[in-house]
């Protein structure tokens, strides 16, 4: 399945059905009078976050979504049937944005089963019975029904993960996620092997957490260099970042700084997230050089640096222990009284 994290769609709720023009005609009932009923209400447009989806690819081929209109009213004061609501299913982590320059966030789906009545269907038109007055005993006018609402919106998917992998291209992120999760990311001896985000689930010491791998960053990514920074949105919601640095880089301190500068340029609080720094591919170095590069990277980052080889399995357990510890601390810090989520009624 192809991965797509942005899509533009048109949505329209159903218009209300027209009211009826009808007069009561029954044997032995004189002057029956008007009895045209109201038209039915148009269908609403509803979005729902569902499990089992991790891409917006379906919205590439279907871009127009229109709820049915209400049925017309009938005699005997019968109201027309309402139009069926249109339910649009989206992956968890989807945001709905306005189609304007600011791309204002209109809705954010962060829980499975979360539903939002996004557009309200039009009310049905009045039947002629509702126009009857003391001076107008046989009205023939009726309402045609209120129109529905319509708009273009952007859907943007931000994957929900606990840990986000960052680093320069070919830093070994794909190898790491393959080694510790059930993911099967492409691995190659060239830059930008990863062209789309990958998700994997880690099982460690009886606990599980989700890791997200995004395409590597290069200098100038915030200005669009390489693949750019468009995939950084997928780690905005991560609690912890794991920053991998290739031990074979000419200057590991510079490699670390390039990525940190791009995170800062992107904004959205990424540079302020808790981060664990790890020197990868140490199986290609001797112990003395590994110690020297670890010290150099620690001086640049100001944080403890873990050494590992994702390909060989060396140091991987220590990195997972550090991630699990950091996630536990972060969850305790983020805990607060649970408040019920209230959605605006239609």
For residues 331 and 323, is the Cβ–Cβ distance under 8 A?
no
100 is in an annotated binding site: no
302 is in an annotated binding site: no
311 is in an annotated binding site: yes
315 is in an annotated binding site: no
Q: Buried b vs exposed e over 45-64: b needs ≥16 C-beta within 10 Å?
A: bbbebeeebbbbeebeeeee
CA distance 210 to 113: 20
Q: Where are the alpha helices (DSSP H) in the chain?
A: 58-61, 173-180, 252-266, 287-301, 316-334
216 is in an annotated binding site: yes
**What is the token pair recorded at 300?**
């640049």
225 is in an annotated binding site: no
Per DSSP, the three-state class of 35 is coil
130 is in an annotated binding site: no
Bridge pairing between strands 45-50 and 86-91: parallel
9 is in an annotated binding site: no
123 is in an annotated binding site: no
109 is in an annotated binding site: no
CA distance 304 to 298: 6
Number of residues assigned to the chain: 346
Instruction: Find the helix or strand (DSSP H, E) in which 10 lies.
Output: strand 6-12
344 is in an annotated binding site: no
248 is in an annotated binding site: no
For residues 216 and 191, is the Cβ–Cβ distance under 8 A?
yes
Rounded to a whole number, what is the distance in angstroms from the first to the last CA of the chain?
A: 35
172 is in an annotated binding site: yes
- With tokens 């959605």, the residue in question is 343
170 is in an annotated binding site: yes
Say what the alpha-carbon torsion angle 320, 326, 329, 333 is, to the nearest 10 degrees. -140
280 is in an annotated binding site: yes
334 is in an annotated binding site: no
283 is in an annotated binding site: yes
273 is in an annotated binding site: no
213 is in an annotated binding site: yes
167 is in an annotated binding site: yes
CA distance 283 to 309: 6
| Residues in binding site | 167-174, 192-196, 213-216, 280-283, 309-311
| Residues in binding site for GTP | 167-174, 192-196, 213-216, 280-283, 309-311
| Residues in binding site for Mg(2+) | 174, 194
């Amino acid at each position: 399945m192809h991965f797509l994290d942005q899509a533009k769609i048109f949505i329209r709720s159903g218009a209300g059905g027209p009211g009826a023009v009808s007069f009561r005609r029954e044997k032995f009932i004189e002057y029956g009078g008007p009895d045209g009923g109201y038209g039915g209400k148009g269908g609403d447009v509803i979005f729902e976050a569902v499990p089992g989806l991790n891409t917006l690819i379906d919205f590439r081929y279907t871009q127009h979504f229109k709820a049915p209109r209400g049925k017309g009213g009938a005699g005997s004061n019968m109201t027309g049937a309402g139009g069926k609501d249109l339910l649009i299913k989206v992956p968890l982590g989807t945001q709905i944005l306005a189609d304007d320059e600011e791309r204002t966030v209109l809705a954010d789906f962060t829980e499975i089963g979360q539903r939002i009545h996004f557009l309200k269907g039009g009310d049905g038109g009045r039947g002629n019975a509702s126009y009857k007055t003391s001076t107008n005993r046989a009205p023939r006018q009726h309402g045609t029904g209120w129109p529905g609402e319509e708009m273009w919106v952007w859907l943007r998917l931000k994957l929900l993960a606990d840990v986000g992998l960052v680093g320069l291209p070919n830093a070994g992120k794909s190898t790491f996620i393959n080694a510790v999760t059930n993911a099967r990311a492409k691995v190659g001896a060239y830059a930008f092997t990863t062209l789309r985000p990958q998700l994997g689930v880690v099982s460690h010491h009886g606990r599980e957490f989700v890791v997200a791998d995004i395409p590597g960053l290069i200098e100038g990514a915030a200005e669009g260099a390489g693949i750019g920074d468009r995939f950084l949105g997928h780690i905005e919601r991560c609690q912890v970042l794991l920053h991998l640095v290739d031990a074979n880089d000419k200057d590991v301190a510079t490699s670390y700084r390039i990525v940190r500068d791009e995170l800062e340029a992107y904004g959205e609080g990424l540079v302020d997230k808790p981060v664990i720094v790890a020197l990868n591919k140490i199986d290609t170095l001797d112990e003395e050089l590994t110690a020297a590069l670890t010290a150099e990277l620690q001086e640049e980052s100001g944080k403890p640096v873990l050494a590992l080889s994702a390909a060989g399995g060396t140091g991987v357990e220590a990195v997972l222990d550090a991630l699990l510890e950091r996630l536990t601390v972060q969850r305790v810090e983020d805990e607060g009284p649970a408040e019920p989520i209230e959605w605006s009624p239609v």
